[in-house]
A and B are shown apart, each in its own frame.
Chain A
Amino acid sequence: MTEKQILRKKILDMIEKNSRIAISEIAVMLGEDELAVANELKALEDEGVICGYHTMIDWSKTSLDAVSALIEVRVTPQRGQGFDSIAERIYKYPEVQSVYLMSGAFDLMVILEGKTLQEVAQFVSSKLSAMDSILSTSTCFILKRYKDHGTILAAKYEDIREPVTP
């Protein structure tokens, strides 16, 4: 890796863990010039490497209802377009969180966020299954999130070390 690539990797690692970190702080911690970091960030945004600055929320800790489902979808690829056009028809629905093309027993993995179980069921039966090229769907609801995006949700970090040691 070139020096620039290493710097980019380091910036991305830091910002992926904490998107609210100040540019000045990244610069201090990496021992780099603030302007250089700002330019690199700008470039990463322009190139679409950084696609957004989202927040990780554990909705289960709020009083709001939210269910998520992973839906395995088998489709007939369309001539000349492969899976892209059917994927597009699926991902344009705002309640669809993610769509991945997969290797293995099925073709598309669709991650759906709905308010209620009924809402998810409704989407699968009336929208997804009704699409022409879809052969079958298999819906798995998420019962509990233990770890998401590298963050363990189950346990809160607590410093239980002896406070003063040699």
Chain B
Amino acid sequence: MREPVSKKTAAIKPSGIRKFFDIVQEMDDAVSLGVGEPDFDTPWHIRDEGIYSLEKGRTWYTSNAGLKELRIEICRYMKRTQGLDYDPLTESFVTVGGSEAIDLALRAMVDPGDEVLIPQPSYVSYEPCAVLADAKPVIIELKGKDDFRLTADALRDKCTDRSKVLIMPFPNNPTGAVMELKDLEAVAEVIREKDLYVVSDEIYGELTYSGRHVSIASLPGMRERTIVINGFSKAYAMTGWRLGYAVGPENIMSQMIKIHQFAIMCAPTTSQYAGIEALKNGDEDVAMMREEYDRRRRLLLHEFADMGLPCFEPFGAFYAFPDISGFGLTSDEFCTRLLREEKLAVVPGTAFGDCGEGYIRISYAYSMDDLKKALERLRRFISKL
């Protein structure tokens, strides 16, 4: 028989998280700080709207781009949070989570050989999605000394004639880094100069603890070259609903919708009805959850300092990215031993790019009690090293 799998697919590395997942599964009493999703349930009024839509028999496809009412709410959200105007009908559409939008944006924008600039450490899917779109991923290494922000120099260094798309993964998973206005301004200058397009993944935008999140699309000359990706998973604790969206200029949106309509049809209808409720009446829930994450974040940093674990202050998402290079172990060794010896699961920085070596990702999307128990294990482990 012939080889059934394409070389392109076979060459993609499996996620570095898998191994830890497998070990945890076989343990009875493991504790984890390894999740990438909120610990809150979706607020009840949002769930109730989803249930109500089912009761009313709203069980059909929606239009490919998603319910008009939801797209109107999405565009209102962009207006009230970023001051950006998008036409709901031609410049926005609803996706199956932010992940789908990342895939679509890259497939719609690059030709074989085009280069996609990917700052790392960052979410695991940008690089494989670029490869699957036949682009060449070019990694920009973010540095601890820059608080894992993207600098204009780092970007300029990696630009070539083939550079086409820059991924902007902020607030960042796994580092918790944010880009403030001045950081964005410096990077935007290079983007305009090099005529790049931007895929800005702002899924953690609402979870910013140092003032409000600023979208790079809101900077001068950036709206027409930026696709903003966002979704409901993190802000409204709706990961399982698989609901996200993209907004951007019509010429790109129309092509992304084309792929979306053939590959997906439409995002889940139930989720879309719940999404309308989330955007209309969910601001207080988001504020409550943000406040709670912020308290845990402060506690976490305080505990790290107390146990002698260096960590830069993360101002976004729900992750901290402490520096473990001083313990003489690689990230993978550190995490494997931590799991074996203290039954505590965290994720090695290297799962998010080679330059994550020397760091571990710790999620604080846990109840305060669970967080404290887990931190005790971490403290005990470090004291033995």
Contact = CB atoms under 8 A, between A and B. Distances in A.
Given A28-B299, A29-B298, A29-B299, A166 B39 contact: no
Nearest to B41: A157
Nearest to A10: B291
B302 A28 contact: yes
Interface residues of B, number: 28
B277 to A, nearest CB: 22
Contact of B39 (A28, A161, A162, A165): A161
B367 interface: yes
Contacts of A165: 17, 34-37
A164 B21 contact: yes
A94 interface: no
Specify which of A14, A28, A30, A166 lies most central, judged by the most chain B CB atoms within 10 Å of its CB: A166
Contacts of B109: none
Contacts of B299: 25, 28-29
A30 B299 CA distance: 9
Contacts of A159: 39, 366-367, 370
Interface in A23-65: 25, 28-31
A166 B32 contact: no
B124 interface: yes
Contacts of B366: 159
A166 B124 contact: yes
Nearest to B296: A29
Interface in B24-48: 24-25, 30, 32, 34-37, 39
Given A163-B24, A166-B123, A30 B298 contact: yes
B77 interface: no
B37 A161 contact: yes
Nearest to B22: A164
Contacts of A157: 367
B360 to A, nearest CB: 12
9 contacts: A28-B299, A29-B298, A159-B367, A161-B35, A162-B35, A164-B32, A165-B35, A166-B17, A166-B123
A146 to B, nearest CB: 14
Interface of A: 14, 25, 28-31, 157, 159, 161-166
A28 B30 CA distance: 27
A27 B298 CA distance: 10
A166 B15 contact: yes
Given A28-B302, A157-B367, A164 B295 contact: no
A163 B34 contact: yes
Contacts, number: 53
B149 to A, nearest CB: 21
A85 to B, nearest CB: 41
A14 B351 CA distance: 36
Nearest to B99: A166
Nearest to A14: B295
Nearest to A30: B295
A102 B17 CA distance: 57
Interface string B100-131: 00000000000000000000000111000000
Interface in B350-378: 351, 366-367, 370
Contacts of B36: 165-166
B347 interface: yes
B235 interface: no
B345 to A, nearest CB: 6
B21 A163 contact: yes
A28 B35 contact: no
A159 B31 CA distance: 10
Given A157-B367, A161-B35, A164-B17, 14 more contacts: A28-B298, A28-B299, A159-B366, A162-B35, A163-B21, A163-B24, A163-B32, A164-B21, A164-B24, A164-B345, A165-B17, A166-B17, A166-B123, A166-B125
Contacts of A25: 299
A157 B123 CA distance: 29
B312 interface: no
B381 interface: no
